[in-house]
Amino acid sequence: MNFESLCVIGMGYIGLPTASIFASNGIRVTGMDNNAEITDGLKAGRVHIFEPGLRGLVLDALASGRLNISSDVTPADAYIIAVPTPFYDDRRADLRAVIAASESIVPNLEKGNLVILESTSPPRTTADIVAPILEKSGLKTGQDFMLAYSPERVLPGRILRELVDNPRVIGGIDRTSAEAGRDLYRKFVKGEIILTDATTAEMVKLMENTSRDISIAIANEFSRMAEKFDVDIWEAIGIANLHPRVEILRPGVGVGGHCISVDPWFLVEAAPEEANLIKTARQVNDGQPAFVADLVSKVGGDLSGKRIAFLGLAFKPNVDDLRESPAVELAHHLTDAGAEVMAYEPFRSDAKIPKINLVPSLEEALIDADLIVLAVGHDQFKDLDPQAIKEKTTARIVFDAVRIWDKADWEVAGFRFSGLARRY
């Protein structure tokens, strides 16, 4: 099946790269978003997302005329819904953006069109929520138009490469819909394309991220035990991982981002009686920032009135994404303990976060600090020279939550060094 035009709804971390790649492969693409700041910025050539290679790709697509930015859904051969799916305070999936995007397609839907939901969603969202909305057009799913679910499965920092090279799962509401999705994505996907049904594809995406969440939870729980037993968790993990069938992940401040920290809750919501392990893992990882904050308090003493140079707010190293970031949660716990947090996030120094003071440089974060907390292992922080840092700050206490600094080097420079279950 040949598709000449495409409308991508949502110009976020997935929608913008997807729209740009399709445009660079010859399809006429409308990138739609209802955020005027985003659309106006893109029209002016301002790319609001940091991702290696993305800015050049977007600007080239715009210059070619194959990518147009709009605040409205426009008629097309195919539509991709790539909007956020956060959760409410009670951890239920917030599908309002998916519903609104589906409704925006209805006036434009024609026979022979293909609609693909990419947004991570609870099982049966495509069949039970999106399909009935689209059928308000008077057209019948699987008969007049095609509908499929195809989740993104990419890692921030490698999005452009992984969109092309990773296997792509396409779950159709019927076989014809799945095959149509395959024909569309084959425009740029070099990885294997696997066809299945929509609900299976939805569950596959949730299973992938939930499995990793559980693996991180056991590492974080091990770190708590190591603190209790006075064991260096990093040494213990290194030894355990010598076993040929063991691969324990790294503990840290917690789990963040818009996938791993969110997706497991969709399974808990959909099957609460069956998802006991999944729920427990989520609770462990959600509680890790508070655990790390307690460790900081132990080494720093009463934090009331103390100034903390806080390094890193992104949910993982070398990205600008602060969504569901455990580092942000850790900073909030420290402010709740009375500390004044001076945070330096090199990828998002212009972010606005309540109760946290973001500063534009490392030097400004270090001024008059009592304590240095490393929360994210950005490359910019890995090779910091303790002797040089000593000249820039009054702080003499360092807490490394992600184990990228050498304890001996900092102690030689005159710092009292601590970290997450760290002895060496």
Say how many residues make up the chain.
424
CA max distance for the chain: 74
> 112: which 2 tokens?
């022979």
Catalytic residue selected from 7, 187, 190, 259: 259
| CA 70/CA 32 separation, integer angstroms | 5
Q: What is the pLDDT of residue 364?
A: 97
CATH architecture for segment(s) 287-419 = 3-Layer(aba) Sandwich (3.40)
Query: HEC string of the chain?
Result: CCCCEEEEECCCCCHHHHHHHHHHCCCEEEEECCCHHHHHHHHCCCCCCCCCCHHHHHHHHHHHCCEEEECCCCCCCEEEECCCCCECCCCCECCHHHHHHHHHHHHHCCCCCEEEECCCCCCCHHHHHHHHHHHHHCCCECCCEEEEECCCCCCCCCHHHHHHHCCEEEEECCHHHHHHHHHHHCCCCCCCEEEEEHHHHHHHHHHHHHHHHHHHHHHHHHHHHHHHHCCCHHHHHHHHCCCCCCCCCCCCCCCCCCCCCCHHHHHHHHCCCCCHHHHHHHHHHHHHHHHHHHHHHHHHCCCCCCEEEEECCCCCCCCCCCCCCHHHHHHHHHHHCCCEEEEECCCCCCCCCCCCEECCCHHHHHCCCCEEEECCCCHHHHCCCHHHHHCCCCCCEEEECCCCCCHHHHHHCCCEEEECCCCC
Catalytic residue selected from 7, 43, 140, 205: 205
Pick out the chain residues at pLDDT < 70: none
| CA 162/CA 87 separation, integer angstroms | 26
5-191 and 287-419 agree in CATH topology: yes
Q: What is the pLDDT of residue 25?
A: 96
In this prediction the pTM is 0.89
Q: What is the pLDDT of residue 411?
A: 97
**β-pair partners for 146:** 114
Q: What is the pLDDT of residue 50?
A: 87
Q: Which residue's entry shows tokens 């994505």?
A: 185
Q: What is the pLDDT of residue 182?
A: 98
| CA 148/CA 151 separation, integer angstroms | 10
Annotated catalytic residue 7 = no
| CA 410/CA 364 separation, integer angstroms | 20
Query: Of the candidates 120, 122, 148, 121, which has an alpha carbon nearest to the alpha carbon of residue 134?
Result: 148
- Give 206's Cβ-side CA count (13 Å radius): 28
CATH code for the domain defined by 5-191: 3.40.50.720
**Backbone φ and ψ of 310, nearest 5°:** -110, 115
Q: Where are the domains of the chain?
A: 5-191, 216-281, 287-419
